[in-house]
Amino acid sequence: MSKPDATLPISSPRAAFWLGAREAARVPMAVMAASFLGFGTLIRDLDWSVWLGVYSTISTWALPGQIAMAEMAARGAPLASMVLAVAFINARLMPMVASLLPQVRRPGMSLVVQYAAAMIIAATTWAGVMRRLPDLRTEVRFAYLTGYGGALYAMSPFATAAGYFLADHVAREVAMGLVFLNPLYFMLLFLAGPGNTGRWLALGFGAALGPMLYTILPDWSLVLTGLLGGTAAWLIGRRRARHG
């Protein structure tokens, strides 16, 4: 999980684009492909068609929301409930887009292009691009983002379809394990590097509070764990910074 090696100065957007695509095609793509393989297996188990599964990947490209939508649809949940659930789940991407786009967009860039770029900012894209930005000149950062995120996005529908057709050879437990590889990888990326004491504290608080709160308030345990554990870690980190 070491930081990527610094590159030579890149002045060409095309070179930055292909650099992003190459770096995405390593571990990030392998992990994301495994997760979408798991999703493809899941939709086969839920009796979706392969085309619906692929369309959900192309139109949404946010695996937690896609899983929630598929599970709720299989149980006959109302459309409004599914829309609200997916919206709340995918709201996690808003701060990622808000923190990354201002660092990569060029002056005069249209809103249409910015919205299109926001579509390819998944958690894996955000983590990988943010770690590389200090090595890139401002004028080529957007091209790097499109190469990195675009490569991951283009792969995902094919991995979904592959998982669908391999469903007979993959146990459901294995498929669900594959689905959770991507958030695990993102967590490790997020923890990598020096000066991340607050993040480790948040992880520790979450591990301690999660199981306990689940036994008390299972429907709200995840929200409360994140709120309480994250707030406690932030307060401790702020206090430590204030006192040197």
Boundaries of every domain in the chain: 13-192, 194-244
Structure tokens, 243: 């006192």
Q: What is the pLDDT of residue 2?
A: 44
Q: Give which of 224, 204, 227 is closest to 214, Cα–Cα.
A: 224
Q: What is the CA radius of gyration of the chain?
A: 19
Check: CB of residue 96 under 8 Å from CB of residue 126: yes
Can you tell me the distance from the alpha carbon of 111 to that of 106, in angstroms, rounded to the nearest whole number?
11
pLDDT in 10s for each residue of the chain, 244 residues = 444 444 557 779 999 999 999 999 999 999 999 999 999 998 898 888 999 999 999 998 988 889 888 888 888 889 888 888 888 888 889 999 999 999 998 888 899 999 999 999 998 999 899 989 988 988 899 999 999 999 999 999 999 999 999 988 877 778 778 877 877 777 777 776 555 677 888 889 999 999 999 999 888 888 889 899 989 988 988 888 777 6
Q: How far apart are CA 105 and CA 117, in angstroms?
A: 9
Total Cβ atoms within 10 A of residue 211:
10
Q: How far is CA 200 from the centre of its chain?
A: 19
**Which tokens in the block code for residue 76?**
């006959």
Query: Read out DSSP for 142-208?
Result: HHHHHHHHHHHHHHHHHHHHHHHHTGGGS-HHHHHHHHTHHHHHHHHHHH-SSS-HHHHHHHHHHHH
Residue 1: the pLDDT is 45
